[in-house]
A and B are shown apart, each in its own frame.
Chain A
Amino acid sequence: MAISELPDEIMFDILSRLPAKCVGKSRCVSKPWRTILSGTQFIKAHLTHLKRTHQQNLIFIAGDFSIRTISAVQNDAVSRELELGLEKRWSDVLGSCDGLVLLQNDDEDKFLLNPMTMQLVKVPDWPAPSYKDESIAMHGFGYDSSIDDYKIVSVSYQDPREYVSAVVHTFVDVYCVRSGVWKRVGNPPYDIFYFLGKDAYDHVYVLRTPGAYLNGAIHWFASNANERTVIVAFDLAREVFDEMPAPVGADVNLVPYELVVLGGCLCVYDVQSVIGQANVWIMREYRSAKSWTRFNIECVHEWEMAKPLCCIGDEEVVLVNTMAEALVYNVKEKSLNNMVVDGVPANVLDGDIFVGSLVSPCPLTVAEPV
């Protein structure tokens, strides 16, 4: 038989397995194909297949402040610069979910990018509790399945370097991507942690940690009403914080720790590692205190905060240190080497993994490209 006789639902299923680039190409086949392949239902089916294949790509801010990607993250790979047509210097990758990446530039403007389709949208500013320059905001980004929308969460304080006050207000604000609207969801009964650190040149900096998104919630370290350090999970659907167990053995009240997601698990690492060793814990099973598993990263210098970015296979972890070096740590061999990108040791300021989806960063009110 001719393949043209295939029923629509089988065709739909086959097309939803194509890589994003090939879907884009297929939209050029005909107008009906374009309509089907641009629909919400198709983009969701495509995302479902993507998640099954587990292909992880890396997006990172290079030493020259440009945004680059590596498809199918691995060592000794070739990267590609994304021409986003902005003169700004990129500074942070604040989050990544379903192929959308939340980026921040030097002016603290935030943008949502789909690195695959190259759609880039500026996130509107939200009036912070005080002037932008005098407040500290930490962000998280994730998906709320209850309303089928992506949300940016902002936790903000007055900057402790500017204000010395016994009362520090914490504000939690949520931005819904599709509706394009910010709203305030109240003051949490927690102090979400940020850290004042000193860099290699003794400059005081505020270490603002992006929230780690996993399982419909954004996670931060915080102290509760009893001044105990806990992990809080901001549930994106209910818009409330829940407490979660911190790893046993991590002295979270004394040493600053950060949270990231590594290999699909919540991961804690210490920000001020002692000479020659950094501690990393992985929560193998979500919400299970017993499942925290510790491993050490050897040969990290004292001032080198090394943030785990992603895994390569089962054995290697990509880390970025404060000197903007990307390193590959082999858990089995306990070896730490520079990550090679484009034939040279990579300079990476920040980064995250992403999947090659067709999800749009545009609010629904803005006409999407037809």
Chain B
Amino acid sequence: MAAETGTPTTLTLKSNDDELFSVAESAAILSVTIRNMVEDGCAGGVIPLDNVDGKTLASVITYMNGISAIPADEEKKKSYRDKFLSDKDFETLADMVLAANYLNMSCLMDAVSAKIAQVMEKKSVGWVRRKFGIENDYTPEEEAAVKEEHKWTFEGVETDDDN
């Protein structure tokens, strides 16, 4: 094996828009999907990842390399994840959560889902409808009634609808 000669094994990953990426096997197997392929001996050539585009895959690989360089210290890993996600916009986060789901990376999935929820916390009902492409099917009377019922949720909450 390559590991015995001191050279780390690298894998080649292919995005659905045909970009190729080299990544150390030790980092790539954070993805259970990829790990299973490696264990089944299907990782010899190029590994096609049909559900992930190049931009997102590049980002996921940055994450794989970053997190696998951190020794077993959950606090440090968590702060790396927080920092890694801090500058991602909402659409990128959506791409990441899908990629993490497809690649079966539970820690990334967990962190991205929590981050999306955190962004949503301070947003208005209108913002959520726009971003999620949801049609308001309440009549004005129904909407007033549902807001009245849930008035405990609007007390002391300021919304911030930027981006």
Interface residues of A (CB under 8 A from B): 1-7, 10, 13-15, 17-34, 116-118, 369
Decide if B146 touches A3 in the complex (CB within 8 Å): no
Which of A13, A14, A27, A31 is the one whose CB lies under 8 Å from B137? A31
CB-based closest 9 A-B pairs:
A24-B153, A4-B133, A17-B117, A3-B94, A24-B150, A25-B153, A21-B153, A14-B113, A118-B152
Given the known inter-chain contacts A21-B157, A22-B121, A24-B153, please indicate yes or no for A30 contacting B137, CB distance below 8 A. Answer: yes
Decide if A17 touches B113 in the complex (CB within 8 Å): yes
Decide if B131 touches A30 in the complex (CB within 8 Å): no
- Tell me the bound Cα distance from A31 to B142 in angstroms: 10
- Tell me the bound Cα distance from A348 to B60 in angstroms: 51
Decide if B98 touches A6 in the complex (CB within 8 Å): yes
Question: Shortest Cβ distance from A228 into chain B, in angstroms?
Answer: 44
Question: Shortest Cβ distance from A98 into chain B, in angstroms?
Answer: 18
Whether, in the assembled complex, B90 has its beta carbon less than 8 Å from a beta carbon of chain A, the answer is: yes
Decide if A18 touches B98 in the complex (CB within 8 Å): no
If over half of A's interface residues share one DSSP class (helix, strand or loop), that class is named, otherwise mixed; here it is helix
- Tell me the bound Cα distance from A2 to B120 in angstroms: 15
Interface size range on B against A? 20 to 34
Whether, in the assembled complex, B134 has its beta carbon less than 8 Å from a beta carbon of chain A, the answer is: yes
- Tell me the bound Cα distance from A256 to B144 in angstroms: 55
Decide if B98 touches A30 in the complex (CB within 8 Å): no
Which of A6, A20, A28 is the one whose CB lies under 8 Å from B125? A28
If over half of B's interface residues share one DSSP class (helix, strand or loop), that class is named, otherwise mixed; here it is helix
Given the known inter-chain contacts A29-B129, A30-B137, please indicate yes or no for A116 contacting B152, CB distance below 8 A. Answer: yes
Whether, in the assembled complex, B42 has its beta carbon less than 8 Å from a beta carbon of chain A, the answer is: no
Q: How many A-B residue contacts, CB cutoff 8 Å?
A: 92
Which of A4, A5, A10, A22 is the one whose CB lies under 8 Å from B153? A22
Given the known inter-chain contacts A21-B157, A24-B152, please indicate yes or no for A29 contacting B125, CB distance below 8 A. Answer: yes
Residues of A within 8 A of B132 (CB): 3-4, 29
Residues of A within 8 A of B93 (CB): 3
Question: Shortest Cβ distance from A46 into chain B, in angstroms?
Answer: 11
> Across the two chains, which residue of chain B brings its CB closest to A16?
B117
Decide if A369 touches B149 in the complex (CB within 8 Å): yes
> Across the two chains, which residue of chain A brings its CB closest to B147?
A28
> Across the two chains, which residue of chain A brings its CB closest to B144?
A28
Residues of B within 8 A of A33 (CB): 134
Whether, in the assembled complex, B128 has its beta carbon less than 8 Å from a beta carbon of chain A, the answer is: yes
- Tell me the bound Cα distance from A19 to B119 in angstroms: 12
Given contact pairs A18-B121, A24-B150, a sample of 6 additional A-B residue pairs in the complex whose CB atoms are under 8 Å apart: A6-B97, A7-B101, A25-B153, A26-B128, A29-B132, A34-B146
